[in-house]
Amino acid sequence: MAGATSSSLIWSPWQATFHHYNNRFHHVKGYPFPCHAYYPICNSFNFKRRFSSSIFNDDHVITDSSSSSNKQGRLPMSGCGCSWIQDNSMVHASGTSYGTTSSKKCSALPTKTVDVSSVSDLFEFICSGPLVDKIGITPENVGQSIDKWLLYGSQLCRLFQLNELKLTIPQKARLYHYYIPVFVWCEDQIALHNSKFKDGDDVPPLVIGFSAPQGCGKTTLVFALDYLFKTTKRKSATISIDDFYLTAQGQAKLREENPGNALLEYRGNAGSHDLPFSVNTIEALTQLTKDGMTMKVPRYDKSAYSGRGDRADATTWPEVEGPLKVILFEGWMLGFKPLTTEVVKSVDPQLETVNKNLVAYYDAWDKYINAWVIIKIKDPSYVYRWRLQAEIAMRNAGKAGMSDDEVNDFVSRYLPAYKAYLPTLYAEGPSGSDPDRVLAIDIDEERNPILAT
């Protein structure tokens, strides 16, 4: 096909889209992916588009990765979903053309690279992703917005310090099959949210909840989304259920009131959060609708008191400013619903008190969430493996980390809740949620999105 012209080609849907829309493509000064540069794609399959990540226009200002999302004080840590950056994790092979996928696994060696300068190859790779149908985009949609996909990919490469021209298969899949599709879905949710208000109204930020088990990479996902919002000049804030843990004093009181209950001995389960504090924080954030409005967002210091944790000093809390467009709220137990006493006691008798505590959580958290991302796992025991990976990575890096036995003890305090509440969350969704505004993402043991089986 090399050297063929448009008159001798049978165009694929993406090429037809570009041909139809090429008259509206224009060059924007400084834009890293000039729209006019895509016109030759319609004339040759072998068109190669190499680009630089060092030039951005005023509408897409890229800052150093240490000065955007990092200002909010939450960084993805080693072992928490970032292994795709360096290792040769397994990914599900996808068909080379849109509309065809395969669940066959392939080993992605770190020495194998993908040249994303081939826009046609990237287009087909995007369209073969497992989330394309879920987020309601078509090949035509991707074709019309391919410049945005390239821009978002370039921004994330900058954030994670990846060579955008030499991505490994796991890296390419994580960006174009996971993070960017979720971001596109979030953009659509914001547009839908804004459409419900009249011109001149104060539009509160959309609150998107991210419910996902520990270690599955939700914090890294939210970190990436927050970065993309900021680099496209839409103000966002991130909060975690961790930010609302009881103070060290409150935890000690909870422990004393529940002697012998291992599920409430340390922070984590329902009952270990300051719910009035979380309500005040969320409501204050949703009122940041105007320029000049600011507030400090609480953070939790897990290292305080020899790892038992305490609320971080308020002087260290990051500041956010309005008008906020979106609040990204993540947590391992967001959306959990109370069950009957018989059900929870059959899982673990100690869960009965936790279940009673859970009743108050809907009014404190879930009712404020407008749209949901539910990251689903097949087996809760994945959490143990993921946590063990994180601790081993910390130990190998010369940092203090839990022993294997300590990891087992730590995870065992969460597994009863996973076993009890995840089936209902996956089957019914969070209480009060709109099914049309819930994005459910199945991931495998390597934290990669997969087609549901």
**Residue predicted with more confidence, 451 or 12:** 451
Residue 452 has pLDDT above 90, yes or no: no
Residue 221 has pLDDT above 50, yes or no: yes
pLDDT value, residue 307: 81
Residue 399 has pLDDT above 50, yes or no: yes
Q: Indicate the burial class of 43 (C-beta count within 10 angstroms; 0-12, 13-18, 19 or more).
A: middle
- In the numeric block, the tokens 């105007």 are attached to 290
Q: What are phi and psi of 29, to 5 degrees?
A: -55, 125
Pairing of strands 310-311, 449-450: unpaired
Q: What is the pLDDT of residues 150-206, one digit of tens each?
A: 999 999 999 999 998 899 999 999 999 999 999 999 999 999 999 999 998 999 999
Is omega for the bond preceding 259 within 30 degrees of 0, making it cis? no
pLDDT value, residue 439: 97
Residue 43 has pLDDT above 70, yes or no: no
In sequence order, what are the residues at sequence separation of 6 or more whose Cβ sits closer than 8 angstroms to the Cβ of residue 243? 278, 281, 297, 298, 299, 300
Of 189-203, 390-404, 421-435, the one with minimum mean pLDDT is 390-404
Residue 236 has pLDDT above 80, yes or no: yes
Q: What is the pLDDT of residues 76-110, one digit of tens each?
A: 544 454 667 764 443 443 333 333 333 333 333 33
Of 110-114, 180-184, 272-276, 277-281, the one with minimum mean pLDDT is 110-114
Pairing of strands 310-311, 319-321: unpaired
pLDDT value, residue 73: 52
Confidence of residue 70 (pLDDT cuts 50, 70, 90): very low
Most confidently predicted of 89-98, 107-116, 366-375: 366-375
Helices 404-412 & 382-396 angle (0-180, nearest 10)? 140
Q: Within 55-116, where are the H helices?
A: none
Residue 434 has pLDDT above 80, yes or no: yes
Mean pLDDT of 298-317: 92
Q: Are 75 and 223 in contact (CB under 8 A)?
A: yes
Eight-state DSSP code of residue 333: T
Mean pLDDT of 420-448: 95
Q: With pLDDT > 70 as the criterion, what percentage of the chain qualifies?
A: 74
Q: Return the SS3 of 266.
A: coil
Mean pLDDT of 64-83: 49
Dmax of the chain from CA atoms?
Answer: 79
Mean pLDDT of 426-430: 96
State which H helix or E strand residue 374 sits in: strand 371-376
Closest listed residue to residue 84, CA positions, set 216, 181, 245: 216
Q: How many CB atoms lie within 10 A of CB 88?
A: 16
pLDDT value, residue 404: 86
Q: Are 116 and 167 in contact (CB under 8 A)?
A: yes
Q: Return the SS3 of 210.
A: strand
pLDDT value, residue 96: 34
Confidence of residue 220 (pLDDT cuts 50, 70, 90): very high
Mean pLDDT of 245-262: 97
**Composition of the chain by helix, strand, coil, percent to 5:** 45, 15, 45
Mean pLDDT of 13-37: 36
**Residue predicted with more confidence, 442 or 44:** 442
**Residue predicted with more confidence, 444 or 101:** 444
